[in-house]
Chains A and B, each alone.
Chain A
Amino acid sequence: MSSETTNILVVEDEKVFAELVRDIVTDEGRGQYAVTVVADLATATAQLVAGRFDLVLLDLTLPDRQGLETYQAIHQSAPLVPVLVLSGVSDEEVALQALRAGAQDYLLKNEFDGRLLARAIRYAIERKAVETRLRESEEFFRLISENVTDLISVVDENGKRLYNSPSYQAVLGQGDELTGSNSFAEIHPEDLAVIQGVFREVVTTGKGQRAEYRFVRNDGAVRHVESQSSVIRDDTGTPRKVVVVSRDVTERLAAEKELRQALAEVKRAHEQLQAAQRKLVQSEKLEAVSTFAAGVAHEVKNPLQTVVLGIDYLRDYVVTNDANAADLLQQMSDAVKRADAIVQGLLEFSAYRKGAVSDQDLGQLFEQALASLESELTAQAIRVRADYATSLPRLRLDPRALKHVLINLLATEINGCPPGSEFYVRTYLRAPAAGPNGKSTVVAEIEARHPAAAEAAVIISEKPAGGTPDDFGIMVSRKIIELYGGKVECQRQRTKRRFTISFQT
């Protein structure tokens, strides 16, 4: 079949009428119509199955079949080919039935003329083509709507359901039977008012909206959905239908909730870890205090010993001559006992022993001490610039005791410096002094400076008039370092303060 030629099958057992039709059609078609005439249903269906026709002109009364069945047989043979029924007045009723069953049109044989027939043929072919395209497109969209997991629903402007995709079955437990029902019926009572409001707005404004709400199924289960609506307008532009595409987000929400819980747990675990870390740092500081206390105890015991021995020595001289002096010595002796008890308490608190020594890197001990004081450094806005020498000779030390001393020394510096100061921490190896017995020295320095100190805007340190608690702390720290064979030097100037700790190797 060429695109210009329309192939027409005429099924008519009355030979004269059949030829008349052929003549009219051929004339009207001006060479565009190719006509085939058959006289019975069997030949007609065979032709339809074998060939490709654009139209069938069908007499319903054939020798081998009559009535509506004739149309049905033809239609089954070629469902896509349009059928024009040729009918006598007596069987117009059957022709109407054929029309309802899908025939394009019917023509009464007695009212027949060429122009009428030609027009009926054109219309029938055109209409059938439109119908086919429509059915194909319907089929296409039906396939889509039946195969998506999203919920597609069309409702009228009052919310009555006109269409629901089969996917509704999975969510609501209901499918086809939803058609005609109220689309708000299954919405959770708590969400209903809001969603009805949204729907009214969509219909009034014609502007689609997104919404989240819950469905309550017949079995009581709650499903969370997320919807996007859009309107279908009539010819006048008035919104008449609303298309709602929804998605069941129950699982997603549950997963999100689990994720949030998991995140919260991770966060909580992290916070616990941080708290534990803080506690650890805190306990390290406590331990530093304890080492400090032990140092104090140790350092106080020596002068106490001196006092005790002094009292003993003096006693023989004064007892005989001066009762008051004897009494005084006794009081002194008691005072020493009290002081000793206090010191003893400190010693017990700290349970201090010169700990197990091992090979230590001074730079590493500094790093650890600074790490313990991080919050103090931050609070005073002190920036630390560290420069640790690599491969320094190791020192035989009790690392815990030394670290605690460093913590105390650094804490003293932090408290003594104005905010915004800078700490320059460095370790290095000092070359041995000349001579056969010269030994090299491991040195650690902390120098505190302030950017504004050069212009004398900030005073880093003023030489204290008398002893201060800081100086006492330094004294104790110095004694502990000396126990390990080290030395502490302390310089304080208006523009900088510096500590040097050194150990001969």
Chain B
Amino acid sequence: MTKKRILIVDDEPSITQLLRLNLEKTGQYTIRAQNDAEAVMGALQEFKPDLILLDVMMPGMDGGTLAGKIHATRAFKNVPIIFLTAAVRQEELDARNGVIGGFPYIAKPLNVKGVISIIEKYLPESVSA
């Protein structure tokens, strides 16, 4: 079974590292952590993720802008992006079925179980099958 490739972009190394450890431990995912938003486009070309976890607020780079840029690139326009945010409450997200402006969100802090259930919800069928 092919492991699903997940790119995690967050300026906080402790978060990317712990997400990576927790997700890799399940044996279901291949993870690449990226703390520098500027280098994300390069990492995409190289890693070709099936799904991206993307922090909304990063110094010098707006997660929304970055997402727009990713989806504007032909090769990645169908790669699901899940935003990580510290500015929205989980209750607010639940009320909107986890989606704001067409994008799924994860409200920090969320435990591994919660993160995995959201990832699984948005992974493309062909890959998860």
Within the complex, which residue of A303, A308, A316, A352 is in contact with B87, where a contact is CB–CB below 8 Å? A352
Residues of A within 8 A of B112 (CB): 309, 312-313
A positions within 8 Å CB-CB of B: 294, 297-298, 301-313, 316, 333, 336, 340, 344, 347-348, 352-354, 482-483, 485
Asked if A353 and B109 make an inter-chain contact with CB atoms under 8 angstroms apart, the answer reads no
A333 to B113, CA, bound (A): 14
A482 to B62, CA, bound (A): 11
Given contacts A298-B86, A316-B25, A352-B87, contact A309 B19 (CB under 8 A): yes
Asked if B86 and A309 make an inter-chain contact with CB atoms under 8 angstroms apart, the answer reads no
B89 at the interface (CB under 8 A from A): yes
B positions within 8 Å CB-CB of A: 12, 14-15, 18-19, 21-22, 25, 57, 59-60, 62, 86-87, 89, 108-113
A336 to B108, CA, bound (A): 11
Asked if A297 and B86 make an inter-chain contact with CB atoms under 8 angstroms apart, the answer reads yes
Max chain A C-beta neighbours (<10 A), residue from B15, B25, B89, B108 = B108
- A interface: dominant SS: helix
A483 to B63, CA, bound (A): 11
Min distance, Cβ B44 to any Cβ of chain A, angstroms: 22
Which residue of chain B has the shortest Cβ distance to A351 in the bound complex?
A: B87
Asked if B22 and A309 make an inter-chain contact with CB atoms under 8 angstroms apart, the answer reads yes
Max chain B C-beta neighbours (<10 A), residue from A301, A303, A309 = A309
Which residue of chain A has the shortest Cβ distance to B84 in the bound complex?
A: A305
Which residue of chain B has the shortest Cβ distance to A336 in the bound complex?
A: B109
A353 to B57, CA, bound (A): 11
Within the complex, which residue of B19, B60, B110, B113 is in contact with A482, where a contact is CB–CB below 8 Å? B60
Min distance, Cβ A342 to any Cβ of chain B, angstroms: 13
Min distance, Cβ B65 to any Cβ of chain A, angstroms: 11
Residues of A within 8 A of B12 (CB): 302, 305-306
A304 to B84, CA, bound (A): 13
Residues of B within 8 A of A297 (CB): 86
Within the complex, which residue of A307, A354, A485 is in contact with B109, where a contact is CB–CB below 8 Å? A307
Residues of A within 8 A of B60 (CB): 482, 485
Asked if B18 and A301 make an inter-chain contact with CB atoms under 8 angstroms apart, the answer reads no
Asked if A301 and B21 make an inter-chain contact with CB atoms under 8 angstroms apart, the answer reads no
Residues of B within 8 A of A340 (CB): 109
CB<8 Å pairs between A and B, sample of 14:
A294-B87, A298-B86, A298-B87, A305-B86, A306-B12, A306-B15, A308-B111, A309-B22, A310-B18, A313-B18, A336-B109, A344-B89, A352-B87, A354-B57
9 closest A-B pairs (Cβ-Cβ)?
A: A309-B18, A301-B86, A482-B59, A305-B109, A312-B112, A306-B14, A304-B109, A308-B109, A305-B108
Residues of B within 8 A of A485 (CB): 59-60
